[in-house]
Structure 1
Amino acid sequence: MQKKTRKLTLASQLLCLSLGTLLLGGPLGAAELESAAVKPLELPWPAQSTQYLPLTDGHQIPYLWLEQTNAQATLVIVNGRTETLLKYQELAQHFLAQGYNVLLFDHRGQGLSARYTDDPFKGHIDEFQTYVDDMHQLLQRVLPEPRQHKLLLLAHSMGGAVSSLYLEQHPEVFAAAALSAPMHGIQGKLLFSENDACALGSLMSVFSSEGYAGFAAAPFKVREFAGNDLTGSRSRFDWFNELNLQYPQIQLGGPTWGWLAQSCAVFEPMRANSSSLQIPLLVLQAELDTVVSNRAQNEFCQALQQNPESGCVTGGPVVIQGALHEVLFEQDKQRQQSLTYIDQHFAKALAQ
């Protein structure tokens, strides 16, 4: 069946605005961060703009390639569900300062990408493997060849699931990887266990693959900070809300039954195939996570410990105390702790 897509209107205007505003620090004044407002990126190269890579099936993947002179490595950042590369400027700034080139991109069906369904707020995918294949095409076609630098991988949430599969299927591409609250399972308990939502999604996707999971429409809406399950950082939470309002093209609502079923289908083979990994893995776990399953992350690391070529570097996930799901967008204390672990992990990989 041919996929339906929604072309982004005013795309060229958005690209100029988004990079001019986000990389030069425009919208941040209304949401000062805990430590200080994010400073504009000081780019030692001409101002970059988001580009679109046409894939073999006609879909286009938005990406941002930030390259600097004398880089010591290249970092690929893989974001989570509902996210966009535009959200990651503060994080990109940190790793540019570490001397890395940075590649960011948006998954199909979210961010600056075209949508799958007529309802632009539905988070949908026909097959989860497509995310992995898109990522591989991007790396093969965008990164300079021959590759002069080691590749490092940083992924969050759904991006952690995509990246875990990628590392299993393409074990020799990256030198090291860090996963932030990876979606190795979801917290989907309805009556009996965390697996309840997956069982229901598998059933409902047969009848209503593109219907909103949960039986009710869940379009995008501005969320209230109080009681949110993502971050304890009021400023970072408000800033992303502001970003969604400023650029409606990136707005995304709830997932579909199809997305839920496809995601759940990869969890077990992901653990079973962990023996294919050939690099050290850092897994950051949010202590207070109610979005993804900490139990599943523990089980993934346990399976990986049987692999002599890989393994979670501390024997299991590193628990970030007091953190909600978005450890990389948490309050400064938890965020800095996470970045310290990541920086040390990458530095060790580059020294070998």
Structure 2
Amino acid sequence: MKSLFSREQVDRNGSFQEHNRLQKQHVEEFGFNRAPRSLTAQTDDGLNAFIASVGQERLQELATGETSGGMPPQVLPMAESQLEQNLDLAIDSLISYFKSGQFGEFACPFNDYQKQPIVCRYAAFLPPNPVPIKRVLHWCNGRAESLLKNLQTIYALREFRGAGLALVMMDHPGQGFSSRYLKDPFKGFTRDFNELINAQKIFEGIIRPQLIEHNQSLGYENGFTYRVGGHSMGSGIATRLLQKYPDLADDWLFTSPMHNIDTPFHFQFDRFGVIEQIGVIILKFINILDRDFDYIPGRKPGYHPNPLPTKENPVMNKLTTSRLQTTFINRMRERYPGITLGAPTIVWLKESITECKKMRKQAGILRQAIASGKHLTVLRPTGEQVLGKKGQDRLYELVGEGMNVIDVDGEPKPQHEMLMEGPQIQHQAFSWLAEFAWGDGSLVASGPRTLGWV
């Protein structure tokens, strides 16, 4: 019988220890632990993988820019046929390209259950020498995701990297390659959302000087545009990051954003959210008694693969209508079981609801950011089932004019994971992301625009 006062998680079948062993193995594979608060040097194999993915002549064309007279960088996703033909071989190719990046880690100023600092791991995909960095995209993952979730995105934007785009990203405390808060590594937990926000700020403070140093080593003095984007919970973290540090980035993109958490306490007639406030108080009380940091009601312990969509029910898993992309997600977690995460805990739900309330309370900061010339854009799928649009709209109404909200439509209706949807929606999402990162930071509802040289 578990104690109401112990907060102990019992590893009855050795799965906790095995998860930790595998995660350590994955960390060593990519070399995160070889560069504390720095970046590993790019390996010859990594550079060769980058060159092979773009082509030597095309890389030269991208490096010389407009003077080459060639075509500006293009979005080039891995073909669906390549994924279908041999998924494992396609994943091998994507991981090979991923290893063309550089990696590192840093210790956070907050601790895990053993009173050891949480260690966050990060990756950077910089232009090859002698190409200077002209644009930076700082990407924030969603809940339960890892850096490897972005394999296809990073690959699709490889020509922009060749022309001067740096993509930088980290795994949030408690998930992915980063160390866990709890003894049970499967529980989706955060003690305080401020820790997730502060970790992103620490990462920015570590990575930005290294990007400046890259340009200085090339004698490039023009600087770069720094933009932040996020997905789902990552969008929520990015929003709170903006509210705490308005000058951190030039423009901001929120995809399938956690700007609201649907709960059983939402009622149409409760205009002022009184019932929701009572519900949060109930969750806080449960959290006090919940000494084992239990999963939210109805969720099973441990990690479970996503169910595959069918023709009869293409929105079965609420993440993507693509059977191939669902298989891809599941296969990646089979290959890297040490980065898997299970369902959220009650304390995570309570913290997330609280942060969404803070977003609305500080909507004026978003309004000021827009007035200062920053672009704030929302991309959300019309088929969204994970997050509630009515609650999102409450925030956007408070912000007022200038908050650019684009609803992405298709057939079947795109779901939460637009970057891992069917090829048409996925390509559109990649193109919008490229336009945000490479263009002037603004997007239009009519669709991605043709991009030129920077």
**What is the match of residue 26 of structure 2?**
14
| 1:235 counterpart = 2:314 | no
1:56 to 109, 118, 122: 109
**What is the match of residue 168 of structure 2?**
103
Q: SS state of the match for residue 343, structure 1?
A: helix
Deviation at 1:320, TM superposition (A): 3.4
**What is the match of residue 450 of structure 2?**
none
Deviation at 1:236, TM superposition (A): 1.6
**For residues 120 and 202 of structure 1, what CA distance do their matches in structure 2 show?**
23
**What is the match of residue 300 of structure 1?**
395
Deviation at 1:16, TM superposition (A): 5.1
Which amino acid letter does the alignment assign opposite residue 305 of structure 1?
A: G
Distance 1:22 1:317, change over 3 A: farther
**For residues 270 and 35 of structure 1, what CA distance do their matches in structure 2 show?**
42
**For residues 319 and 144 of structure 2, what CA distance do their matches in structure 1 show?**
12
**What is the match of residue 220 of structure 2?**
none
Q: SS state of the match for residue 126, structure 1?
A: coil
**For residues 171 and 21 of structure 2, what CA distance do their matches in structure 1 show?**
17
**What is the match of residue 280 of structure 1?**
375
Within a 5 Å distance, the mapping from 1:302-321 to structure 2 comes to: 302-305=397-400, 311-313=402-404, 316-321=405-410
1:83 to 145, 150, 156: 145
Query: 1:151-207 deviations in whole A, cap 9, x for unaligned?
Result: 111200000110000011111111111111000112333784695975653442232
1:142 to 207, 213, 232: 207
**What is the match of residue 184 of structure 1?**
259
| 1:211 counterpart = 2:294 | yes
Q: SS state of the match for residue 154, structure 1?
A: strand
Which amino acid letter does the alignment assign opposite residue 121 of structure 2?
A: P
**For residues 344 and 158 of structure 2, what CA distance do their matches in structure 1 show?**
33
Which amino acid letter does the alignment assign opposite residue 88 of structure 1?
A: N
**What is the match of residue 173 of structure 1?**
248
**For residues 36 and 344 of structure 1, what CA distance do their matches in structure 2 show?**
25
Which amino acid letter does the alignment assign opposite residue 343 of structure 1?
A: A
User: How many aligned residue pairs are there?
Assistant: 337
Distance 1:328 1:348, change over 3 A: same
Distance 1:48 1:18, change over 3 A: same
Deviation at 1:289, TM superposition (A): 1.1
**For residues 120 and 200 of structure 1, what CA distance do their matches in structure 2 show?**
26
Which amino acid letter does the alignment assign opposite residue 302 of structure 1?
A: E
Are the aligned partners of 2:187 and 2:341 in contact in 1 as well (CA < 8 Å)? Answer: yes
| 1:248 counterpart = 2:337 | yes
Are the aligned partners of 1:15 and 1:49 in contact in 2 as well (CA < 8 Å)? Answer: no
Q: SS state of the match for residue 135, structure 1?
A: helix
Which amino acid letter does the alignment assign opposite residue 14 of structure 1?
A: H
Deviation at 1:12, TM superposition (A): 5.5
Distance 1:285 1:107, change over 3 A: same
Query: 1:224-275 deviations in whole A, cap 9, x for unaligned?
Result: 2131110012222111111111111111111111000001001122022122
Q: Which has the larger radius of gyration?
A: 2
Q: SS state of the match for residue 15, structure 1?
A: helix
2:440 to 345, 348, 351: 348
1:133 to 184, 198, 210: 198
Are the aligned partners of 2:306 and 2:326 in contact in 1 as well (CA < 8 Å)? Answer: no
TM-score (norm 1): 0.84
TM-score (norm 2): 0.66
| Identity across matched positions, percent | 21
Q: Judging by fraction of residues, say which structure has more helix.
A: 2
Are the aligned partners of 1:52 and 1:62 in contact in 2 as well (CA < 8 Å)? Answer: yes
Which amino acid letter does the alignment assign opposite residue 299 of structure 1?
A: R
Which amino acid letter does the alignment assign opposite residue 337 of structure 2?
A: P
1:93 to 140, 150, 155: 155
Query: 1:93-134 deviations in whole A, cap 9, x for unaligned?
Result: 233422310111101111112212221110011111110001
Which amino acid letter does the alignment assign opposite residue 174 of structure 2?
A: G
**For residues 210 and 337 of structure 2, what CA distance do their matches in structure 1 show?**
36
Superposed CA RMSD: 3.4
Moved over 4 A (4+): 3-7, 18-25, 38-43, 190-200
Deviation at 1:33, TM superposition (A): 5.9
**For residues 233 and 430 of structure 2, what CA distance do their matches in structure 1 show?**
19
Which amino acid letter does the alignment assign opposite residue 105 of structure 2?
A: Y
Distance 1:59 1:281, change over 3 A: same
Deviation at 1:42, TM superposition (A): 8.5
**For residues 317 and 268 of structure 1, what CA distance do their matches in structure 2 show?**
22
Distance 1:198 1:136, change over 3 A: same
Gaps of 5+ in 1: 26-31
| 1:225 counterpart = 2:278 | no
| 1:332 counterpart = 2:423 | yes
**What is the match of residue 29 of structure 1?**
none
Distance 1:215 1:198, change over 3 A: farther
Q: SS state of the match for residue 71, structure 1?
A: coil
Q: SS state of the match for residue 54, structure 1?
A: strand
Deviation at 1:54, TM superposition (A): 1.6
